[in-house]
Amino acid sequence: MRVRPLDSKLYDNIRSKLRKIDKQLPQKVLADKVTPTTIDSLIVLGDGREDYVVVPLICHHLNGNKTAAIVKPTFTRDGAIHTLKTIVKNYKTIAFILDQEKDKLPELSNKITMKLNEIGVICEEIENLVEGRVIRYECILGDHRFRFVVVVNGVEDVGSHSRKIEDHLVRLAGVTVQNDSKDTWNELSEEERLEVFRRIRDDRGVAEEVFKQHFAGLRLLDC
């Protein structure tokens, strides 16, 4: 699956980071063509920075020739849901990826369903995968039905006091977290971080082991 950013800043963020991993990678991962076939799936990033690289790389392993649009709303985490009302109707499936941080998974799930309700979306939980880190909802907004897949970043046993995308990255890097995985990740040199991204690109098996919820959730876009 390729991704098509719907904003120039996000496009440049993704493209510039992918380019550092491998100059040919942007062409493989990003859908540049202006007249694609119908794009019925959307990926919404609740948090930024490393998600800009990780999510497109995982998409690259999945769903064949499909293309999904990708956005990073101005509001973070569950706040991003508020901005979706105007665009939901254009998509059949939406994946929403956010950090767990210090929330408990059921609480986070409740927050998300409440936010969806606030914008008029009626949703029903259909499936719960990867120990509650992937939740599939079937939703209705007006007369539009769509699938909403929540993917929660974080690894239980990595030792970070707040759970986020960097949990997965430090696990791949093989380093010990002292306090917060983000700090540990940022202490690595740029080349060490790029090596981790290259492993995600090259070793699907390892990537799937470490990013279980992302593979499980993003796979659901192919319906």
Partner 1 sequence: MIKRLRLENFKGVVEGEVELDKLTILVGPNNSGKTTILEALFLAPNPFRLVPYVSQNAVRLVLEYHKTLFEEGYTFLFNKYIAKNMLIKVDERELLFKKGIGSRILVYTNYSPPGYSLPRYILDEREYFSLGSLLPDSNVDGLQDVLITDNTLLLSTKLVKFAHEYLQNKWIEILNTGVPAIIAKDVSRFVSEEYWNISAEPFLGGSITFYVLLADGTRIRLSDLGAGVHLYIVNRLLYEHYKPEVVLWDDLETHLNPRLLSHVVEWFADLVEEGKQVIVSTHSLEVVEKICAYVNNATVLLTSLRDGKLRARRVKPDELEEWAKAGIDPRFAEVFLL
Smallest separation (angstroms) from partner 1 to the CB of 106 = 27
Determine the Cα–Cα distance for residues 72 and 104; give it in Å rounded to an integer: 23
Q: Contacting partner 1 (CB under 8 A), which of 21, 25, 29, 39?
A: 39
How many residues sit close enough to partner 1 to count as binding (CB under 8 A)? 25
Pairing mode, strands 93-99 and 2-5: unpaired
**Among 66-74, 130-138, 143-151, 193-201, the segment contacting partner 1 (CB under 8 A):** 66-74
What residues between 84 and 143 interact with partner 1 by CB under 8 A?
A: 84, 86-87, 90
Applying CB under 8 A, does 36 fall inside the site for partner 1?
yes
Smallest separation (angstroms) from partner 1 to the CB of 141 = 14
User: Residues with Cβ < 8 Å from 209, sequence gap 6 or more?
Assistant: none
**Among 30-38, 132-140, 160-168, 187-195, the segment contacting partner 1 (CB under 8 A):** 30-38
**Among 57-65, 81-89, 142-150, 169-177, the segment contacting partner 1 (CB under 8 A):** 81-89
DSSP the chain: -EEEESSHHHHHHHHHHHHHH-TTHHHHHB---SS-S---EEEEESS-TTHHHHHHHHHHHSSTT-EEEEE--SS-GGGGGGGGTTTGGG-SEEEEEEE-BTS-HHHHHHHHHHHHHHTT-EEEEEEEETTTTEEEEEEEETTEEEEEEEEEE--GGG--SSB-HHHHHHHHHT---SS-HHHHHHHS-HHHHHHHHHHHHH-HHHHHHHTHHHHHHHHTT--
Smallest separation (angstroms) from partner 1 to the CB of 55 = 13
Q: Which two tokens stand for residue 137?
A: 């909802």
Q: Please say which residue, 86 or 189, places its beta carbon nearer to partner 1.
A: 86
Smallest separation (angstroms) from partner 1 to the CB of 172 = 27
Q: Please say which residue, 13 or 184, places its beta carbon nearer to partner 1.
A: 13
**Among 28-36, 107-115, 132-140, 141-149, the segment contacting partner 1 (CB under 8 A):** 28-36
Smallest separation (angstroms) from partner 1 to the CB of 163 = 23
Applying CB under 8 A, does 49 fall inside the site for partner 1?
no
Smallest separation (angstroms) from partner 1 to the CB of 16 = 16
